[in-house]
Structure 1
Amino acid sequence: MAAMTDLSPTEEMNKYSQEMQVDKKILSRKVPTLCSARYGIAFITHLCNFTLRAQGIIMNITMVAMVNNTNYQFQFNSSTEGPSDSFDAQRSLLSKASVYNWSPQIQGIIFASVNYGMILTLAPSGYLAGRIGTKKVVGFSLFGSTLLTLFIPLAADHGLVVLITVRVVQGLVQGSAFGGQFAIWERWGPPHERGRLCSIALSGVMLGIFTAILLGGIISQALGWPFAFYIFGGVGCVSCLLWFTLVYDDPVSHPWITITEKEYIISSLAQQVNISSEPSLPIKAMLRSLPLWSMFLCGFSHQWLVNMIVTYTPTYISSVFKVNIRNNGFLSALPFIVSWITGMLGGQLADFLLTKNFRLVTVRKIATFLGNLPPSLLIVVLPYITTSYITTMVLLMIAVGLMPLCQSGIYINALDIAPRHSSFLMGASRGFAQTAAILSPTVCGFLLNQDPEFGWRNTFFLLFAIDLLGLIIYLIFGEAEIQEWAKERKLTRL
């Protein structure tokens, strides 16, 4: 046993898999699913993503209370149905906390600032997590994000530059968590269960959006907008404690996993690829890989869609329907609870299709198609139906509900085409896609500021064009087979 402790986690897993002699068909029937260590890891990662995303986007709803005016002087049809509350309640709210005079363009920069830092750490954190372990990378990143969330109200009072700086640093640590977490599925995710495990973990993002936007409005109106940051900072403290206590980098080091589940996971991974402890990165081959580029570009276009909806849903509802911040929070959050549910079910659907002998590449492309094209089409329609808030909310719920299906498509495609380098590539793909999170609020804020009458239409048509282009590229060039440059090379000596 002492000898085992001298090995790295990867080497222990490789040695363990080589020594195992098990009947895998019998084993798979004995292994539990939901009540298992691997699903426990997925649900803790779900909580981590919930916390990080809530901390990152809570400002999207508190911004309605933080600025002097979010109406932007848009002149929509005055006979809109549904909520028509005046801004009197909102004005009384603003007396409880500091209020700032930020233009729509400045607000767009503030929204995007958290992504400025995130783009720098997504790829390196994936590579780092593959070396030192996901537990350390994600755990310390979650802790850093929590501290910065608690500091944001003070930063805002010290000026725009300080606030943007804090948001950029928060993006740096959050990028480490989002990019580093994928490495855990190299050692915890059996290939035919990765769709559901990753979907469970990633759907925490949508639950975080729903909760932050819903409670952010209520908290801001009841206590003042700074308390929204304090409360979600407290949630982060609890999440950190659970993460460091319950998460382990691989089945071999987990103290409570059953022998049956440990053998099942390691034998499943051994059938796919022998994990090398220090695989070199074939950078030149990666840069020439069309399947990899198609995954990157489609991820960019989907993130443009996601970030546009996440960032501007509260602002759009406020400008069109003139609701107070509490009702705005409820209406803005409603589509994301649908998204959370479909995100959880999407992985189950993808893995079910695989059991029905669908080709893996077909499943990935179906999931990606459904998560891209229908939502962007529905968003384009929104400016033409401003007379009915019910129709608007139904279309938003359908659009946002379909977006997470991509979690079983492009977002885990790196595990298919390059499992040995998946932690780096999944971080790198998210980092590349994150440039959309920087560009979309900035570009959209500019369009809304320049054209008050048609700003939303221009913004949504641009979204559709970008989303469609990325999807077409992926449908043509996307693959799900291990690429030649990702296969392990065996050296022979003469």
Structure 2
Amino acid sequence: MSTVAEMRATEEDISNDNDLHTSEVQTSRKGICSVRHGLSIILLLCNFAIVTQEMNMSIAIPAMVKPTAPLNHSNAYTERSPTDSQEYWNETLKGFKAVAPVYDWSPEIQGIILSSLNYASFLAPIPTGYVAGIFGAKRVVGAGLFISSVLTLFIPLAADAGVTLLIVIRVAQGIAQVMVTTGQYSVWVKWAPPTERSQLTSIATSGIMLGSFVIFVVGGLLCQTIGWPYIFYIFGGIGCVCCLLWYPLIYDDPMNHPFISTGEKEYILCTLAQKSCSPSWSLPVKAMIKSLPLWAILVYSFCQYWTFYVVTVYRPTYINSVLQANLRDSGILSALPLIPGFICTILGGLLADYLLSRKILKLITIRKLFTAIGVLLPSLLNMSLYWVRSSTSTSVAFLIMSPAINSFCFSGAFVNILDIAPRYTSFLRGLSQVFTHTAGAISPTTTGFFINQDSDLGWRNVFLLSAGINVLGLIVYLIFSQAEVQDWAKE
């Protein structure tokens, strides 16, 4: 970590050699071929690896169980011929069995295995964010990525050893993954100039959608052709490769980076000079509890991720049961919405920083505008799904447009923590993940209840409830959010 003396010395060097470094600093400001953008690309790869490791079990488990116990995502509301569905499952699982072992796991055991990833992750974000703020993201994120990747490689062996060991590994893996998703936000406190926060964070988080797309598209193919163990070997190996990039190339502070240019280092330090802050062992808990801008972000996070988990968990089921696509095609159709989402996440960040750097809009206006766009239009599209379900093409179009527009939120409320409390970014990011994990624990269960009550009107009620909760979170955010550093977060 750089000290105040080091920063003052650097500023003196800048003033002495101003003419020499002016053009270099301007190049560092405008160019995208920089160390900080390279950092965002590496974080993109890390998020890609973590998401594929998080979702690979849900893709592989149909191939891991015997044909007598298939996963029945569509329950009692599927309209496809039972004979056709059974033939498809028997044919698919027969191919799985030819290339990999299968296990006699009941549906209850399968549910426990799939849920075990979240058993401890509910409590992990806050301590992870706090530790990352103290010791730096390089150690925390790197350790989490390495542990999750290695444990992924051992999942096939654990499955052979027994369900208990497999569940233990999944629980540990969930904690390690939280270390990556929470700790990485403290990187940008020292690396992201205020006018580039949106684009840098959006590039990094776009790896989530990219990883989801890839695992949906190739996961089932890998299981059916070379065997389900390879879905763990391949994506665990990718995570290990990311570790090889992470440790030698990532540094917590540009002052200590060995490959950064003088111009880029000076540009980052100058832009952050007035907002320079250091993490502290103490936390202003009472002030945080009374902070309405912080509560606006937390409430919004809960409401937004309510819909996110409903769409993520039930999109394949909806495509399979309501749109009558077969199981193979439903995986591909489930992946399609993630392509425009990946692109729009990056473009939204670039647009937000352009509007800020050109002083076209104020920072708080950008945050609120992008959040409103990312909530209102997708909510309208999701509500309309029930009434356009007779048209497959229209439904698929709405499913593709919704996450693309929703990605604007990554340049809105989700990055707002960096604005109001950069000193406690990692801790508050962990706190917000407690709210998101809570939404993830409640919303799929509620969705299943509605659908079990009525297979037709249930979907309508799910979409209406999700839209209502989403809009409620938006209203709270628009009223109470701010973009200035709060008094309790200042040095």
TM-score norm. by structure 1 comes to 0.88
What is the total number of aligned residue pairs between the two structures?
476
- Given the alignment, which residue of 30, 33, 36 partners 2:27? 30
Distance 1:45 1:477 in 2: 31
Distance 2:366 2:176 in 1: 33
Distance 2:72 2:232 in 1: 20
Distance 1:441 1:170 in 2: 22
Deviations 1:361-405 (A, max 9, x none): 110011112222322332233233333322221111101112221
Residue segments in structure 1 that go unaligned for 5+ positions in a row: 1-7, 489-494
Cα 1:284–1:20 change in 2 (3 A) is farther
Residue 431 of structure 1 aligns to which amino acid in structure 2?
V
Partner of 2:285: 283
Distance 2:350 2:307 in 1: 23
- Given the alignment, which residue of 14, 20, 27 partners 1:21? 14
- Given the alignment, which residue of 396, 410, 417 partners 1:393? 396
Q: Work out whether residues 74 and 453 of structure 1, in 8 Å CA contact, stay in contact via their aligned partners in 2.
A: no
Report the CA distance between 1:47 and its aligned residue. Answer: 0.5
Q: Work out whether residues 112 and 439 of structure 1, in 8 Å CA contact, stay in contact via their aligned partners in 2.
A: no
- Given the alignment, which residue of 24, 42, 45 partners 1:44? 42
- Given the alignment, which residue of 172, 175, 185 partners 2:175? 172
Report the CA distance between 1:194 and its aligned residue. Answer: 0.6
Q: Work out whether residues 68 and 101 of structure 1, in 8 Å CA contact, stay in contact via their aligned partners in 2.
A: no
TM-score norm. by structure 2 comes to 0.88
Distance 2:161 2:103 in 1: 13
Deviations 1:404-435 (A, max 9, x none): 21111111111111122223222322332222
Q: Work out whether residues 323 and 392 of structure 2, in 8 Å CA contact, stay in contact via their aligned partners in 1.
A: yes
- Given the alignment, which residue of 232, 236, 241 partners 1:238? 241
Deviations 1:14-53 (A, max 9, x none): 4555544345976642315221111111100110011101
Distance 1:324 1:235 in 2: 30
Deviations 1:164-222 (A, max 9, x none): 44332211111111111011101110011111001111111110111111111211222
Question: Bigger CA drift: 22-31 or 341-350?
Answer: 22-31
- Given the alignment, which residue of 334, 337, 340 partners 1:335? 337
Partner of 1:381: 384
Q: Work out whether residues 193 and 351 of structure 1, in 8 Å CA contact, stay in contact via their aligned partners in 2.
A: yes
Question: Bigger CA drift: 16-25 or 199-208?
Answer: 16-25
Query: Over aligned residue pairs, what C-alpha RMSD do you find?
Result: 2.8
Partner of 1:492: none
SS at match of 2:123: helix
- Given the alignment, which residue of 244, 253, 256 partners 1:250? 253
| Mapping 1:336-485, distance limit 5 Å | 336-354=338-356, 355-449=358-452, 451-485=454-488
Distance 1:371 1:93 in 2: 42
| Mapping 1:261-272, distance limit 5 Å | 261-271=264-274
Partner of 2:314: 312
Report the CA distance between 1:99 and its aligned residue. Answer: 5.6
Distance 2:349 2:59 in 1: 29
- The yes-or-no answer on 1:185 pairing with 2:188 is yes
SS at match of 2:154: helix
Q: Work out whether residues 54 and 212 of structure 1, in 8 Å CA contact, stay in contact via their aligned partners in 2.
A: yes
Percent identity of equivalent pairs: 45
Q: Work out whether residues 349 and 410 of structure 2, in 8 Å CA contact, stay in contact via their aligned partners in 1.
A: yes
Deviations 1:457-493 (A, max 9, x none): 33333322221221111111111112122222xxxxx
Distance 1:242 1:182 in 2: 18
Deviations 1:110-129 (A, max 9, x none): 54442332232222222212
Distance 2:268 2:257 in 1: 12
Question: Bigger CA drift: 200-209 or 427-436?
Answer: 427-436
Deviations 1:85-140 (A, max 9, x none): 9445424334344266655x876665444233223222222221222121111011
Residue segments in structure 2 that go unaligned for 5+ positions in a row: none
Distance 2:373 2:250 in 1: 32
Cα 1:217–1:382 change in 2 (3 A) is farther
Partner of 1:119: 122
Distance 1:231 1:184 in 2: 28
Partner of 1:152: 155
Partner of 1:3: none
Cα 1:278–1:76 change in 2 (3 A) is closer
Distance 2:191 2:141 in 1: 16
Distance 1:434 1:389 in 2: 32
Q: Work out whether residues 63 and 97 of structure 2, in 8 Å CA contact, stay in contact via their aligned partners in 1.
A: no
Distance 1:288 1:190 in 2: 28
- The yes-or-no answer on 1:98 pairing with 2:102 is yes
Question: Bigger CA drift: 10-19 or 361-370?
Answer: 10-19
Distance 1:98 1:64 in 2: 9
